[in-house]
Amino acid sequence: MTTLHDSAFLKAARGESVPHTPVWFMRQAGRSLPEYLKLREGIAMLDSCADPELIVEITLQPVRRYGVDAAIFFSDIVLPLKAVGVDLDIVPGVGPVVANPVRTLADVEAIPDLTADQIPYITAAVQGLVGELAGINGGTPLIGFAGAPFTVASYLVEGGPSKEHAKTKALMFGAPDVWDALMRKISGISAAFLETQVAAGASAVQLFDSWAGALTPGDYVRHVQPHSARVLEQVGKLGVPRIHFGVGTTNLLDLMGEAGADVVGVDWRTPLGRAIPMVGDRAVQGNLDPTLVFAPTDVMTARAAEVIEAGRAARGHIFNLGHGVIPSTNPDQLARLTEFVQSYPLG
């Protein structure tokens, strides 16, 4: 029997030798699973993220089905904002919608800080999960989850999802004092959300920056990196591995690593062979194109083998898709992919 500390996922995150390439999937909890869709019938997204029993069950579903090497905590990027009283909702087919977008310092100051006692359902869910996961495969690690400051700020400023992030950048460039105050506020909230999960038993964390790819390296360094670094530094004091992932961040991978990541997530647009020298002496996570699960199985596994082989050059490699599971994905195909990765010879 292995111990949780010796799990393939945590060993890879620490850059140690592994018995097999560990694998988990972003957005594995939910989306494509029929058991998830049945459980969520008639329940709003944010309501499901605040119910400990639902969180536990949804987080466990892909672990049971696939036997993946880590569980990702079921939550949403805007849940901490909802918890501190921001008027927002997740509109089906649209995404998070904020009633009163942030424009001024007064708007920022009206957002309270997050404390653990505001999210007792998170503590309860993590504790429940840790107990359940301890008995699966000799101990399956739980990854805590939070949105990175830039992405969360973009939702607050835009009022919802955006492709151009024009209002966000206008605030960042035109009102840097407001921007800095907003990013400091969000970094504190994100750090508190992750710290709560780790304090309850999460074994690692992932800071997810969906929209950072919209930035130039210079703007990232000046306006974003210090705030992401603050989150990662605070969580790093708790001694758990920190994964930092962004979408379309080919030009930012080195900077995202320097922000304080132990593991840099790489999306499917950047070959691992190119990404690994950029991230330095860090582990990498990724990065099969999520659409390859719709290809014939032999095509999918051949491409997965290429990813695994490329990952050998890194300090450590955690196999994942290059972004989240697409909702129409066939769960059986993900099961085949998991089995292939875990059985792929490393000797």
Contact present, 303 and 271 (Cβ < 8 Å):
no
Neighbours of 344 (CB within 10 A): 17
**Active site annotation includes 155:** yes
> How much helix, strand and coil, in percent to the nearest 5, is found in the chain?
50, 10, 40
- List 155, 209, 220, 282, catalytic entry: 155
Q: How far apart are CA 245 and CA 206, in angstroms?
A: 7
**Active site annotation includes 40:** yes
- List 14, 40, 184, 336, catalytic entry: 40
Which residues are CB-neighbours of 2 under 8 A, at least 6 positions away? 137, 138, 139
Is the dihedral angle over the CA atoms 155, 170, 189, 185 positive or is it negative?
negative
**Active site annotation includes 315:** no
**Active site annotation includes 27:** yes
Which residues are CB-neighbours of 329 under 8 A, at least 6 positions away? 31, 32, 290, 293, 294
Q: How far apart are CA 156 and CA 181, in angstroms?
A: 13
Question: What is the number of residues in the chain?
Answer: 347
DSSP 3-state of 216? coil
- In what helix (H) or strand (E) does residue 71 lie, and over which residues does it extend? strand 71-72
- List 36, 65, 76, 289, catalytic entry: 76
- List 14, 31, 184, 303, catalytic entry: 31
**Active site annotation includes 31:** yes
Tell me which residues are annotated as active site.
27, 31, 40, 76, 155
